[in-house]
Structure 1
Amino acid sequence: MRKMMRRPLAGLIGLALLAGAPALAQDPTPLQPTEILHGRFTQERILTGIATPLKSEGSFVLAPEHGLIWRVETPFAVTTVMTGNGIAQFNGETEMVNLSAAQAPVLAHLYQVLGGALTGDIARLEERFDVAKSTSGNDWQLALTPREAATADATQIEAIIIRGSRYIDRIEIAKASGDEDRLIFHDQTIVSEAIDPKDAELLDRAGAK
């Protein structure tokens, strides 16, 4: 159960950073509290000692006032949900994992660290990370490195590179272990409407034990 959980988690780290979309040339523009971002992703995990990257594909829903739903469709179907209350994982209707923030303090710390990115708040990110910004025309890049050892120890993140134009297009995450995650995002849309009731129910279940 724990092994299955680790794979979608890397995607969640990236997805939490996605809320900077849409973006202009200088900085990501925050996703508004009433807006919901939908899209699809392709993820590659490069693991030390394994020659071939592990690939997965799926879709996501990101709602700043509720949380984040990360649905892996291939090579296996699993849905991971993350909110301020905790994290849950489902295989179809079957709940496989459900941990409160108190039960999983490392995940709670990660959620706090990435909370600024979840709302597109670069100033909040700068409280935990050194953020180097660069632009080229309408394309931009953010390079994040943990400012404190505690942040790096808790998240196992050494560096994050975020690239985008109108939306965030790509995220690269380097881990202390030497592993890497590459996430490519596409078919992104923003809607200003109430969250789907089924999605809201999933988000409410995360950490509700």
Structure 2
Amino acid sequence: MTFRILLAVCLAGLSLAAHAAFDIDDLMKNLAQQKGGKARFVETRTVALLDKPVQSSGEMSFTPPSRLEKRTLSPRPDTVILDGDYVSFERMDGRRMTLNVASRPEAQAFVESVRSTLAGDRAALERHFRLALSGTPAEWSLQLTPLAPAVTALLQRITVQGKGQQVRRIEYLQADGDRSELSIEPITGP
């Protein structure tokens, strides 16, 4: 009987050690193994000046290492494409605008929070954020706290949550208390 108890304690200790060993390098390695893909999203924005949250939905696609497309379908169509250092906006009325995000530190930080997380690029994330990871490989949460004063003036933190190799939720908490939450559901199949 004593041997069984000792064995159970040792196995429990090994299990805890395995979970404790999960770190940011492990998470980034797991995320980097993703070959891109498509997902549906629902974005909910909570703004102090509005009576109720604003919700939009659509589809996203990511092609590593640096192309991210977000196509909003509801309540009105628009498209945002991030390709390298350029982000393009296209409205349903055909108006287009392109920005070089590398020339704007606050825009670059927002871009890297998503793109570098999806690509598993720790070095790019650490150029803009202090990283804190909690959870297990199966269900994790990565908190990104901005480093640059120009970014902290706009953004308190970003929390990215996921399951395994997939990002499932991104929450932006702005310095003024406004919040945006992006829920992501992978699309499987052809």
TM-score by length of 1: 0.65
The 3 A distance-change label for structure 1 pair 131 and 188 is farther
2:32 aligns to what SS in structure 1? coil
What residue number does 2:171 align with? 172
1:30 aligns to what SS in structure 2? helix
The 3 A distance-change label for structure 1 pair 61 and 190 is farther
Q: Residue by residue, what CA displacement relative to the aligned partner does 1:112-169 show, whole Å, maximum 9, x if unpaired?
A: 565532421234323322211111572111111113324424xx22111111113222
Gaps of 5+ in 1: 1-25, 192-209
Amino acid at match of 1:57: S
Q: Report the Cα offset of residue 78 of structure 1.
A: 0.5
8 Å contact from structure 2 (residues 68, 115) kept in 1 = no
What residue number does 1:116 align with? 116
What residue number does 1:147 align with? 147
The 3 A distance-change label for structure 1 pair 44 and 77 is same
What residue number does 1:4 align with? none
2-side partners of 1:180 and 1:84: how far apart? 26
TM-score by length of 2: 0.71
Taking only the aligned residue pairs, the percentage that are identical comes to 25
Highest RCO, 1 vs 2 (Cα 8 Å, sep ≥ 6): 1
**Residue-pair matches, total:** 163
What residue number does 1:67 align with? 67
The 3 A distance-change label for structure 1 pair 123 and 189 is farther
2-side partners of 1:163 and 1:102: how far apart? 26
Q: Residue by residue, what CA displacement relative to the aligned partner does 1:30-55 show, whole Å, maximum 9, x if unpaired?
A: 3358x222111000000012121000
The 3 A distance-change label for structure 1 pair 157 and 71 is same
Amino acid at match of 2:168: D
Runs of 4+ in 1 over 4 A off after TM superposition: 101-106, 112-115
